[in-house]
Amino acid sequence: MNPVRVSHIFKALYSQLVRLSWWTLLVVLIIHYAVAAKLIWLFETGEITEIVAFFYYYVTTVTTVGYGDLSPKTAEGRLVTALWIMPGGIILFTTSITKFVHFLSTRWRRRMRGEADYSYLTNHVVILGWQGLRTQRMVEEITHDVGTTQREIVVCSTKDIENPMPTAVKFVRDIALSERNLHVRAGTVHAATIIVLGHDDNDTLAAALAAAAYNSDGHLVAHFQVQAFADLLTAHCRRAEAMVSCDTALLVRAAQDPGSSRVHHDLLSIMTGNTLFSVRLSANAKLSTYGELMTQFKHEHNATIVAIADDVLGNGLLLNAPASKQVGPDQVIYYIAERRIVQVVT
């Protein structure tokens, strides 16, 4: 027979074997093992016919390890090994390895392409929108905040890209940031924090409203360029925190008070040393004055309080409050410190 034709036949056979389901491959393997055992027990005697010994002999033979401590003694047993156990077993073994590698490769490629499902995640961070270095910086800020619980981060995008930060984030891609399938696969419903930064304000608003519809408990933050869009979001979702670009205000402030832009930048970045943090007082905290807390924070944590608010959304925010201002249970304190204060005892 033509060697080329034989090669094509074997390639075709191998291709069909690789396409077999795992259950079919398992059935074929069991049949091959059972026939091999029956033939060996028919022609051989001694240790090799023992159940455990034959299993050991079969595995070492089909995996090509071949220790040689067990082997058939009769001509018939050797023919069974040469014509049935070795060729069939080796084909099944290599097919299994190939299918397993293909399975892992497929899963990795799906994750890289944003096709994977992370709906099993809970208490994680979902970032809606990939804006290159801007989003990358956002991820770095989140991961560098060692004072908080480290959570999984899922970045969602509509761009035709692969996971831009495969070692740091999980990645989900779909046709729109408001698409239901995207939110299902990103696990939005169980996310602790959702950050929205679309390619424009319309995209951000649609994505934020969709996220609010799927998640009723997590903290929702969205960034806009125009105040009207921010107002529209908070009108429909009062628990959302809508931020508006303050570049113009920063320009004016830097012009009037040189260096203030640097102060603003360092206050917001956890990677530059002292940073702005917040902590919520417990429900059983006793009443204190703003001045007393200032002294306590400076003495115990080398931290400076800059503002207080009534809740975590910043409602009732009061910057540089009077020293006599009463501060009590459930209020939020904003402070500047080198690291996050996990718990406040008052």
Say what the pLDDT of residue 252 is: 66
Say what the pLDDT of residue 18 is: 62
Q: Based on the number of CB atoms within 10 Å of its own CB, is 64 exposed (0-12), middle (13-18) or buried (19 or more)?
A: exposed
Domain identity same for 209 and 313 = no
Domain identity same for 9 and 70 = yes
* Whole-angstrom distance, CA of residue 58 vs CA of residue 88: 11
CATH number at residue 66: 1.10.287.70
Neighbour tally for 149: CB within 10 Å: 7
Domain identity same for 75 and 158 = no
CATH number at residue 286: 3.30.70.1450
Q: Would you give the distance in Å from CA 265 to the centre of its chain?
A: 28
Q: Based on the number of CB atoms within 10 Å of its own CB, is 90 exposed (0-12), middle (13-18) or buried (19 or more)?
A: middle
Within a domain: residue 264? no
Within a domain: residue 259? no
Q: Based on the number of CB atoms within 10 Å of its own CB, is 333 exposed (0-12), middle (13-18) or buried (19 or more)?
A: buried
Of 154, 239, 140, 243, residue with least CA distance to 191: 154
What 3-state DSSP class applies to 233?
Answer: helix
pLDDT digits (tens, 9 = 90+) for 107-128: 888 889 999 999 999 999 999 9
The residue segments making up the domain with residue 31 are 3-113
Domain boundary among 113, 148, 163: 113
* Whole-angstrom distance, CA of residue 123 vs CA of residue 126: 10
Contact 111, 171 (CB under 8 A): yes
Q: What is the pTM of this model?
A: 0.68
The total domain count for the chain is 3
Within a domain: residue 260? no
Within a domain: residue 344? no
Q: Which amino acid is at 50?
A: E
pLDDT digits (tens, 9 = 90+) for 208-236: 999 999 998 899 999 999 999 999 999 99
Domain boundary among 113, 144, 174: 113
Domain identity same for 140 and 202 = yes
Within a domain: residue 263? no
Say what the pLDDT of residue 175 is: 94
Domain identity same for 142 and 40 = no
Q: Which amino acid is at 269?
A: S
Within a domain: residue 118? no
Domain identity same for 89 and 156 = no
* Whole-angstrom distance, CA of residue 156 vs CA of residue 127: 6
Q: Would you give the distance in Å from CA 178 to the centre of its chain?
A: 19
Domain identity same for 137 and 96 = no
Domain identity same for 48 and 137 = no
CATH number at residue 142: 3.40.50.720
- Beta bridge partner(s), residue 128: 156, 196
Within a domain: residue 251? no
Contact 267, 335 (CB under 8 A): no
Say what the pLDDT of residue 123 is: 93
Domain identity same for 209 and 307 = no
Domain identity same for 129 and 231 = yes
| C-alpha atoms less than 13 angstroms from C-alpha of 77 in its C-beta half-sphere | 18
Q: What is the mean pLDDT of each run of 10 residues along the chain (346 residues)?
A: 65 65 86 93 91 92 87 91 90 85 82 93 95 90 74 94 93 95 96 93 95 92 91 91 77 72 76 83 88 91 91 87 91 89 70
Domain identity same for 180 and 92 = no
Say what the pLDDT of residue 295 is: 92
